[in-house]
């Protein structure tokens, strides 16, 4: 049985780790706040480097590119405890350019790098229904897939080149935020027109207008429940990466740029820790209309 490590027990990583443990896998973990491991059937390491010798496969799920660089390649980074033939799976959403550089550094030490960002929110992490978009060597991915199945309903190999998973995640986030903008505009229109929001949602979500964001976040918006499946601050980080990636390849993404500015206005009002479906609040400020029953 492969020994597993997991670094990062945040809004996504804790649920993923819990599912690995429930599936019977032995997992050694590290998190900046050790208390995040409370209640999990895991072994807690004192620092990332200590995870390496206890693991054949290390999963990483942290916030941003500098965080990945620190926990992997820093003075106490996990790579210093890993050996030739080990695999590092990065579930973080980070820069595709940096991912290619990290994979090269890891390869020099004989460690395969799989960039495997995920989608599905904290609910997906807890329920084991995440979608994984994975880039990197197919042989390494074959080795880690049985373990990722503990928290994933879909695992798609999108390319052999490191960074391809991160580019697909950028595509994913374009669809996420523009679907959220569409849901926000539509429900606010229904509110302004005096329609019954629950009946309106039920009428449209089963047809061509339906989407995951509408069905899963629409009810939360109507209830004014802003608890995060994914926070505005993290969404903004991802959109920054989308804009950088689009600039790199010369692709126009005007809708993403608009949503980025709307989220920025919410951050300016201290709302960055709310769920990304609170995007509707930016439109409420423009309309002078508040969503809800």
Mean of all residue pLDDT scores within the chain: 97
Give dist(CA 75, CA 70) in Å, integer: 8
Digit-coded pLDDT (tens) for 57-105: 999 999 999 999 999 999 999 999 999 999 999 999 999 999 999 999 9
Half-sphere exposure in the Cβ direction for 214 (13 Å, CA): 23
Of the listed 22, 169, 237, 281, which one is catalytic? Answer: 169
Q: What is the DSSP string of 195-262?
A: --HHHHHHHHTTSTT--HHHHHHHHHHHHT----SSBHHHHHHHHHHHHHHHHHHT---HHHHHHHHH
Rounded to the nearest 10 degrees, what angle do helices 232-249 and 164-192 cross at?
120
Q: Is 33 helix (H, G, I), strand (E, B) or coil?
A: coil
Do residues 93 and 62 touch, judged by C-beta distance below 8 A?
A: no
- C-alpha–C-alpha distance, residues 188 and 177, integer Å: 16
Q: Which long-range contacts (CB under 8 A, 24 or more apart) does 255-261 make?
A: 255/174, 255/177, 255/178, 255/181, 256/173, 256/174, 256/177, 256/178, 258/181, 259/177, 259/178, 259/180, 259/181, 260/236
68/78 Cα distance (integer angstroms): 10
User: What SS3 state is found at 45?
Assistant: coil
Structural domains in the chain plus CATH codes:
4-160 (3.40.50.720), 167-287 (1.10.1040.10)
* pTM, full prediction: 0.93
Rounded-to-10 torsion of CA 260, 261, 262, 263? 50
**Predicted pLDDT of residue 2:** 87
| Distance of alpha carbon 89 from alpha carbon 162, whole angstroms | 11
Identify whether 237 is a catalytic site residue: no
pLDDT tens digits, residue range 126-145?
A: 999 999 999 999 999 999 99
Nearest to 278 by CA among 222, 209, 215: 222
How much is the pLDDT for 293? 76
* pLDDT for residue 1 is more than 90: no
Instruction: Work out the average pLDDT over 158-179.
Output: 97
- Dist. CA 118–CA 234, nearest whole Å: 13
Q: Identify which of 224, 178, 186 has the alpha carbon closest to the alpha carbon of residue 203.
A: 186
Are β-strands 27-30 and 87-90 bridged in parallel, bridged antiparallel, or unpaired?
unpaired
pLDDT above 80 for 257: yes
Find how far residue 258's CA is from the centre of its chain.
21
Please tell me whether residue 118 adopts helix, strand or coil conformation.
strand
For residues 224-247, average pLDDT: 96
């Amino acid at each position: 049985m492969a020994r597993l490590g997991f670094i990062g027990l945040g809004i996504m990583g804790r649920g993923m780790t819990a599912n690995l443990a429930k599936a019977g896998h032995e997992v050694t973990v590290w998190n900046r706040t050790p208390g995040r491991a409370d209640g999990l059937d895991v072994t807690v390491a004192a620092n990332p480097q200590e995870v390496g010798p206890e693991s054949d496969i290390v999963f990483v799920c942290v916030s941003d590119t500098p965080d990945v660089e620190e926990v992997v390649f820093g003075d106490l980074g996990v790579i210093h405890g890993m050996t030739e033939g080990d695999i590092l799976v990065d579930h973080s959403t980070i820069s595709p350019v940096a991912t290619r550089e990290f994979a090269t550094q890891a390869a020099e030490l004989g460690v395969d790098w799989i960039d495997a960002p995920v989608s599905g929110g904290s609910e997906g992490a807890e329920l084991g229904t995440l979608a994984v978009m994975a880039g990197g060597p197919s042989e390494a991915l074959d080795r880690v897939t049985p373990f990722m199945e503990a928290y994933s309903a879909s695992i798609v190999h999108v390319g052999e080149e490191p960074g391809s998973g991160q580019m697909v995640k950028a595509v994913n986030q374009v669809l996420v935020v523009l679907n959220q903008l569409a849901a926000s505009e539509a429900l606010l229109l229904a509110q302004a027109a005096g329609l019954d929001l629950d009946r309106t949602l039920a009428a449209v979500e089963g047809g061509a207008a339906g989407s995951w964001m509408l069905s899963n976040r629409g009810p939360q918006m109507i209830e004014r429940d802003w608890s995060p499946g994914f926070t505005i601050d993290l969404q903004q980080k991802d959109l920054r990466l989308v804009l950088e990636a689009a600039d790199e390849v010369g692709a126009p993404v005007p809708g993403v740029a608009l949503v980025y500015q709307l989220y920025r206005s919410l951050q300016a009002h201290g709302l960055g820790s709310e769920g990304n479906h609170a995007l509707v609040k930016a439109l409420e400020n423009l309309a002078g209309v508040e969503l809800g029953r």
